[in-house]
Amino acid sequence: NAGVMQNPRHLVRRRGQEARLRCSPMKGHSHVYWYRQLPEEGLKFMVYLQKENIIDESGMPKERFSAEFPKEGPSILRIQQVVRGDSAAYFCASSPPVGAQETQYFGPGTRLLVL
Amino acid sequence: AQSVSQHNHHVILSEAASLELGCNYSYGGTVNLFWYVQYPGQHLQLLLKYFSGDPLVKGIKGFEAEFIKSKFSFNLRKPSVQWSDTAEYFCAVRGSGTYKYIFGTGTRLKVLA
């Protein structure tokens, strides 16, 4: 049973370029979450998606960041016109439908470096 | 404000030493609590979780944690660490029935052989 998959694992971009991060949830999981970890900080919630729906994007920066989880294919976190401050590790997690005992399972992360 | 504090950022122990990592949280209402571990180069793995019931929770690899509601704490313990426990440990809280995890900044544990 494959876990949460993320690719690429490492991504280098120059300022102004676009970054696309992909997340494939665990089999049977229909809920995806994105977190960002800045250096020396804990993971910070960004967005929560179900298939074709954004449920909560309260942690997303207002500009340049977007996320989707299409009916087919992985969830995508897209960062347009990257800046140095976007350098971080981006973690995706997935879960089955939310319930009292539901737990999120994390992927290995994508480490984004903006030059 | 909702937050999680992990006071020890770096811990160095010798093998067979006992471990206790502190975790305190600030959150109004009923909470679920988690400890995750991230081994070098790997993804976060769930060590243990508390939802309700017995406040002493046992997890994988000999770890346990105790929820002390009056102290808003959920400290992680292991009586005898091994070199393979070298990793970063994250405490997390979420409101019961919600989905938004709040993470601490992590504690990097290094165990010397």
Which residue in chain B is spatially nearest to A5 when comparing CA positions?
A: B43
Identify which of B34, B44, B51 has the shortest CB distance to residue A101: B51
Identify which of B43, B51, B104 has the shortest CB distance to residue A107: B43
The residues in B 1-20 lying below 8 A from A, measured between CB atoms, are: 4, 6
Whether residue B65 is predicted with pLDDT greater than 70 in this model: the reply is: yes
Contact B51 A56 (CB under 8 A): no
Which of these, A2, A70, A66, lies nearest to A34 by C-alpha position?
A: A66
B67 confidence band (pLDDT: 50, 70, 90): very high
Decide if B53 touches A, using CB distance below 8 A.
Answer: no
Decide if B43 touches A, using CB distance below 8 A.
Answer: yes
Contact B99 A98 (CB under 8 A): yes
Decide if B96 touches A, using CB distance below 8 A.
Answer: yes
pLDDT per residue of chain A (115 residues) written in tens, 0 to 9: 568 999 999 999 999 999 999 999 998 888 999 999 988 788 999 999 998 899 999 999 999 999 999 988 999 999 999 999 999 999 999 988 766 557 888 999 999 999 9
Contact B100 A56 (CB under 8 A): yes
In the structure encoding, which two tokens stand for residue A30, read together?
């229909």
Q: What pLDDT does B85 receive? A: 97
Q: What pLDDT does A98 receive? A: 61
Contact A44 B46 (CB under 8 A): no
At residue B95, what is the residue type?
Answer: G
In the structure encoding, which two tokens stand for residue B60, read together?
């994988």
B72 confidence band (pLDDT: 50, 70, 90): very high
CA gap A61, B94 in Å, rounded: 21
Cβ burial, residue B77 (10 Å; 0-12/13-18/19+): middle
What DSSP element (H or E) covers A108? Answer: none
CA distance to A11, A35, A99, B22, B96, per residue, from A109 (Å): 11, 9, 25, 25, 26
Whether residue B101 is predicted with pLDDT greater than 60 in this model: the reply is: yes
> Which residues are CB-neighbours of A83 under 8 A, at least 6 positions away?
A15, A114
The full DSSP string for A55-101 is: EE-TTS-SSSEEEE--SSS-EEEEE-S--GGG-EEEEEEEESS--TT
Q: Are B108 and B10 in contact (CB under 8 A)?
A: yes
